């Protein structure tokens, strides 16, 4: 059995006094990847934001490699090994692609050179400013920057949203490689279940702030009945 890397225990959280998620409990083993699914407004981003440390926790615990991190500020969680690719990307637009990577790089297997090998488009634009990149290239840079931190856990919040199909395929290939081949524990939030289920090991479905389904990704790809029930998607 692989070691549990992330353990979320009876977590309730939200923004201010508003509780968005209630009594959330799940674990993620070292080297496993998890698709986080649900309709709009069910709390997917809130869960990611709570793991990162930018929401209000009302109850429960978050353990990373056995260490309680729920009371740590966001920067200490990053130091503990959480890499985050937010929807807003948050790249440094006034720095070059290479500077974006070296500014945050920590020792480990993911060097800027390896990021460029993963995303050849970024290698071609290494001297371009962040502001000069297309949306898809900015998403690749946000992904690469999280990898350059050499995290233990990678959180990707809707990384494919609004991107051209060719860019989506490149990002899916990168997620598959990082999560499946490199064994970096990952949680991926996505609106299109079929795409993300093809590159993850397991899936959680949220509805009305609670976990309503946990299953293997491959099983949900084979039988989409549960997805149809909870997400209203068919077998397309």
pLDDT tens per residue across span 70-119 = 999 999 999 999 999 999 999 999 999 999 999 999 999 999 999 999 99
Quick check: is 160 in a domain? Answer: no
- Is the predicted pLDDT of residue 236 greater than 70, yes or no? no
Quick check: is 234 in a domain? Answer: no
Quick check: is 121 in a domain? Answer: yes
| Cα of 76 vs its chain's centroid, Å | 18
The pLDDT value recorded for residue 2 is 73
Kindly report the pTM of this predicted structure: 0.94
Query: Positive or negative CA dihedral for 14, 29, 189, 139?
Result: positive
- The pLDDT > 70 percentage for the chain reads 98
H-helix or E-strand containing 68? strand 67-68
The pLDDT value recorded for residue 1 is 62
pLDDT digits (tens, 9 = 90+) for 3-62: 999 999 999 999 989 999 999 999 999 999 999 999 988 999 999 999 999 999 999 999
Cβ 181 vs Cβ 193: under 8 Å: no
Quick check: is 123 in a domain? Answer: yes
Please list, residue by residue across 130-139, b when 16 or more beta carbons sit within 10 angstroms of its beta carbon and e when fewer do: beebeebbbb
- Is the predicted pLDDT of residue 165 greater than 90, yes or no? yes
Q: What is the span of the domain harbouring residue 126?
A: 91-151
The pLDDT value recorded for residue 235 is 41
Quick check: is 112 in a domain? Answer: yes
Quick check: is 172 in a domain? Answer: no
Quick check: is 195 in a domain? Answer: no
Cβ 207 vs Cβ 21: under 8 Å: no
Task: Please give the structure tokens belonging to residue 182.
Answer: 């490199």
| Long-range Cβ contacts of 161-169 (<8 Å, 24+ apart) | 161/87, 161/191, 162/135, 163/135, 163/136, 163/139, 164/136, 167/136, 167/139, 167/140, 168/195
Quick check: is 176 in a domain? Answer: no
The pLDDT value recorded for residue 233 is 65
- Give one word for 79, left, alpha or beta, with left for phi > 0 and alpha for psi -120 to 50: alpha
Number of domains in the chain: 1
**2 vs 34: which has the higher pLDDT:** 34
* Average pLDDT of the residues of the chain: 94
């Amino acid at each position: 059995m692989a070691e549990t890397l992330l353990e979320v225990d009876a977590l309730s959280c939200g923004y201010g006094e508003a509780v968005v998620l209630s009594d959330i409990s799940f674990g993620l083993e070292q080297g496993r990847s998890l698709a986080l699914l649900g309709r709009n407004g069910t709390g997917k981003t809130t869960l990611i934001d709570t793991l990162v440390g930018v929401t209000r926790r009302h109850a429960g615990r978050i353990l990373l490699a056995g260490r309680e991190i729920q009371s740590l500020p966001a920067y200490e969680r990053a130091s503990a090994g959480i890499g985050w690719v937010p929807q807003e990307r948050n790249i440094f637009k006034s720095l070059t692609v290479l500077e974006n990577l070296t500014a945050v790089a920590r020792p480990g297997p993911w060097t800027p050179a390896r990021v460029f090998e993963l995303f050849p488009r970024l290698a071609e634009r290494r001297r371009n400013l962040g502001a000069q990149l297309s949306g898809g290239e900015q998403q690749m840079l946000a992904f690469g920057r999280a990898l350059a931190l050499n995290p233990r856990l990678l959180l990707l919040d809707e990384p494919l949203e609004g991107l051209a199909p060719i860019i989506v395929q490149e990002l899916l290939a990168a997620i598959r490689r990082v999560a499946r081949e490199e064994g970096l524990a990952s949680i991926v939030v996505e609106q299109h279940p079929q795409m993300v289920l093809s590159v993850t090991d397991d899936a959680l479905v949220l509805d009305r702030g609670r976990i309503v389904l946990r299953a293997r990704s491959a099983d949900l790809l084979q039988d989409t009945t549960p997805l149809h029930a909870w997400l209203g998607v068919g077998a397309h």
